[in-house]
Amino acid sequence: MKIAIMSFAHTHAAGYIHLLQATPGIELKGADPGPHPRGEVRGCRLADTLGVAYVPDYDELLAWGPDAVIVTSENRRHREHVEMAAETGADILCEKPLATTWEDGLAMREAVARHGVRLMMAFPVRFASTFTRLRREYEAGLLGTVFAIRGANNGTLPTTRTWFTEPALSGGGALVDHVVHIADLIDALLGVAPQRVTATTNRILHSHRARAETAGLVTIEYADGTIAAVDCSWSEADTSPVWGDVRMSVAGTSGTVDIDFFGPAVRGLDSSTGKPAVRRYGQDFDKTMLTSFLDSVRTGSPMEPSIDVGLRTLSIVVAAQESARTGRTVEVHPLKP
């Protein structure tokens, strides 16, 4: 199977390449045309470091005839790259978020449908075994009916790539970066449409570097009455031993479930610095997600999370951005089938 990587802009590109290199039967090729920000190892140099075949531009990459394309470009460029990939007839794995505007998201869905290809969203957390267990136990009725959820996806301010904090390329700040993972988990669990969103933000943390919000709190009201709250802040300190975390608490009529997705670790202390030592050992969700994607490409089985999940989670982000801007609660764009 031939897999093309479009852009190394997102740091996940390197992770996916490592995992795919370890997967038998995969031929990999990447393109990451510049110009690149100074000081960032990108393009041919990064391809050499990773040991992956490289071509200088996307036309040549897609002319290679890949079976599937992984889009790991800057958020704002997802639309352009997904449209190019769809035209070649390849299935697509798109880094989150799907897009940065509702119009771009709808155009991507239209392009994917027109060319008869499928797009899977790169939402790895729903592939966690703890989440699979939650879905199983919920479906078995152990929680009763879910009526309230809270989630937190906190992380360090992304610094290895400057575009994350350039709204022209990222589409915003913490809201666009971190709301979608929790939104995806709720979508997978409940399968109901989000309706109304309220958000409040600030840029107190990392204020000297921030060009968009660095902290954000969002509430979401769903069609079945379920309420949710998401903390999407880049509130993990630069000096933290871990990148951040994803947590979710689900309240059902029969009880609650709390999941700390990246929680399992052995813990101690670095006695030379006095800093905590945290060695996480949990499951690699990216690996499970890629396996699911490759299976779908190979067998034609449905891709989940689909582009519609990408759109529904995007509808929450754009509503949250509008709410933070206006101070009002905002109705989300309804997704017509």
Partner 1 sequence: MTDLKPRIGLVGAGGIASAHLPGLLRSGGTVSVFSEEYAPAFRNNDRIRIASSLEELIEWADILDVATPTNTHHGIVKQALSVGKDVICEKPLALTEEDAAELVSLAERNNLRLFPAHVVRYYPAYRELKRAVDAGSLGELAVMRFVRSGAFPQQPWFADTSRSGGVVGDLMIHDLDMARWLAGDVVRVSAVRHRTESAGHPLEAAHVLLTHASGTITHVAGLWGASDLHFTTEFSVTGTLGSLTYSSRAEENYATDPDHLTADANFLPPRDEDDDDPYAREIQDFISARQGSSTPRVSSRDGLEAVRIAVAAMTSIESGQPVELARQ
Please report the DSSP string for 265-328 in residue order. Answer: EEEEEETTTTEEEEEE----HHHHHHHHHHHHHHH-PPPSSBHHHHHHHHHHHHHHHHHHHHSS
Distance in Å, CB of 184 to partner 1, minimum:
19
Binding site for partner 1 (CB under 8 A): 144-145, 147-148, 150, 152, 196, 198-202, 204-205, 207, 214-217, 219, 221, 225-229, 231, 233, 235, 237, 249, 251-256, 327-329
The least distance separating partner 1 from the CB of residue 90, rounded to whole angstroms, comes to 41
Identity of residue 210? A
Start-to-end CA distance of the chain, whole Å, equals: 31
Whether residue 35 has a cis bond before it, omega within 30° of 0:
yes
**Sequence-separated (6 or more) residues with CB below 8 Å from residue 196:** 220, 221, 319, 329, 330, 331, 332
Token pair of 116 as six digits: 């008869």
Q: Are 146 and 252 in contact (CB under 8 A)?
A: yes
Cα separation, 27 vs 234, in Å, equals 36
Cβ 28 to partner 1 shortest distance, Å? 39
Q: Which DSSP string corresponds to 105-169?
A: HHHHHHHHHHTT--EEEE-GGGGSHHHHHHHHHHHTTTT-SEEEEEEEEEEPPP-SSGGGG-HHH
Closest to partner 1 by CB, 55 or 185: 185
Closest to partner 1 by CB, 306 or 329:
329
Among residues 43 and 252, whose Cβ is nearest to partner 1?
252
Question: Shortest distance, CB of residue 230 to partner 1, whole angstroms?
Answer: 9
What is the closest distance, in whole angstroms, from the C-beta atom of residue 336 to partner 1 in the complex? Answer: 23
Cβ closest to partner 1, residue 298 vs residue 328: 328
Q: State the nearest-atom distance from the C-beta of 175 to partner 1, in Å.
A: 12
Supply the minimum distance, in Å, between the C-beta of residue 134 and partner 1.
16
| Cα–Cα distance, 101 to 315 (Å, whole number) | 9
Q: Which is closer to partner 1, CB of 112 or CB of 246? A: 246
By beta-carbon proximity to partner 1, the closer residue of 76 and 181 is: 181
69 or 199: CB nearest partner 1: 199
